[in-house]
Chain A
Amino acid sequence: MNAWRQPGCWLTWLGLLAGGLAVVVVRDNTVRELAFTLLMFAALASSLNIMMGYTGYVNFGHIVFFGLGGYTGFYLISQHGWSLYPAVLVGGLAAAALAGFLGSAILRLRGAYFALATIGINEAARAFVNNFTPFGGPTGMFVNFSAYAEYGGAAQALWLTYALLLAITILTLILSGMVKYSRFGLGLMGIREDEDAAVVMGVSAPRFKTAAYALSALAPGMVGTLYFFKNGNVEPGDAFRLNMSIEMLVMVMLGGQGTVLGPVLGAVTYERLRGYLLTSPLFKNLHLAFAGLALLLIVLFVPTGVVGWLRARFPRLRRLLA
């Protein structure tokens, strides 16, 4: 795979690994919590990028995989006593399977219609889970504190989830790079640029799109399971937040869609900005408004995001900004 030969990819992967390990070395709980949030969004944004950046299909309801995958994984832990590791895996696979199934139907839609359909699916999923008794209906599910005992107690469990998240995030970025620099990725980008022309050239668009959609759902499903496990509970309102979905979109666009580094950069920048705004007395209530403003400015003036702008402005840096 050509991704291994791209210095830009290695820079992103190793950079993230170094940052992530530094947190473990420092052994500070607050830093870990911050890093958890950053990594979570980096993984989510990166996975969204596979559909949005490489394939050109904007998924407004990406959060549905986080919600449904997370619900499935959490259900296995909470109601059936599964261990964390297989539950996380199944959460991801369930989300991917759902994406494969849904994708074959809604990927026939283009552009705005597709975006609308993904919103509809997210809302339908939330409403459905709200009524679905095995998943706890409107009150959701929770785990007993004792569940953390098998991982060495609550404190240890928190570090464990962090480590797992770090691993998942790095794997997602590796996946992103591998897709981008592969034959599969070339086909996806052909679809993005001109789907009809790509089809005429022989790209099996339906299969490729569905595969991309399923791949993009893996990380959110796994991350969702981890997140809910860490929080100890899950509710419909928490799991399908459309605003969170849109924030992921902003992160991808801010950093630069269609690149490996972009979504990570966007996620980190956006989350830090958001954190700053939330704690600042002046801007506390306005963080949503600021996010909106940021998005508007990006859409109007820098649609290729930071990484895209840098690549265009400094062509020689292209090798380093994958």
Chain B
Amino acid sequence: MILQVQNVTKRFGGLQALTDVTFELPEGQILGLLGPNGAGKTTLFNVINGVYAPEGGRITFRGKEITGWPPYRVAHSGLARTHQVVRPLNELTVRENAMVGACFGRERHSLASAAVVADDVLARVGLTERARQITSSLNVAQKKRLELARALAARPYLLLLDEVLAGLNPTEIALMVETIRRIRDDGVTILMIEHVMQAVMNVSDRVLVLDYGILIAEGRPQEVANDPKVVEAYLGDPKLAQKLLAEEAG
């Protein structure tokens, strides 16, 4: 198990964002994290990588407990993430962005070897021609690819992807899904939040579903898709869920 999340609870004042979330992630798997908006998916990511400390529960990464570690320490241990709303380092070049990932990630490169890593990851996401451009001049799709490249440059064991497919057209989605598969084949475990159902169902080995901070389903994509609780969470009406499932069966 590369990641173990046990009974994680997170509160913001009166708002209970996560309640008793527990799951495990074996090495080399792609785990999809689903749920309607506001379910707490990004909050869970923030707790795992140290942006928030949970009120309760434990996070264990590669056998070490990392609960409450500051984000940079989590990064050093080999966990990288992308953000739902991209956060590029605007006044730096594309290459320099990737180099930051390499310099301060798991492998702690010097500037010279970071440049090599940066060129490699930029090639993988298709940003090589733009390496010397200032990041602020990129469009959103390119910035998303850069965000992924930056995370890869850290040579992580585990990659947390937060809606990498959002806002992409079908061709771009297909390319990105291919890239994700190749990343996994290179040995990186992936936990991804996604709303683009078809893509995530196709690429994930297993999925988790969060609703209002509670884990309501877990299993293979096909099983979870037909789980009435899941359908209800997305549609909001249990009767409607049953009706739809009955129609599909009939």
Contacts and interface: CB of A to CB of B under 8 A. Distances in A.
Direct A/B contact, Cβ within 8 angstroms: yes
Contacts of A200: 49, 51, 71-72, 75, 81, 83
B89 interface: yes
A198 interface: yes
Interface in A185-204: 186-187, 189-190, 192-194, 196-204
Nearest to B70: A199
Interface stretch (B102-110, B181-189, B200-208, B222-230): B102-110
21 contacts: A181-B111, A182-B111, A183-B114, A186-B96, A186-B99, A186-B111, A187-B103, A189-B96, A192-B91, A194-B88, A200-B71, A200-B72, A200-B75, A201-B105, A201-B150, A202-B72, A202-B76, A202-B104, A202-B154, A203-B104, A258-B91
B72 A199 contact: yes
Interface residues of B, number: 28
A contact patch SS: helix
Interface of B: 49, 51, 70-72, 75-76, 80-81, 83, 87-92, 96, 99-101, 103-105, 110-111, 114, 150, 154
Contacts of A280: none
A2 B154 contact: no
B92 A202 contact: no
A205 interface: yes
B111 A183 contact: yes
Contacts of A2: 111
A197 B92 contact: no
B72 A205 contact: yes
A204 B72 CA distance: 6
A127 B42 CA distance: 48
Contacts of A196: 51, 87
A201 B101 contact: yes
B74 to A, nearest CB: 8
B85 to A, nearest CB: 11
A183 B76 contact: no
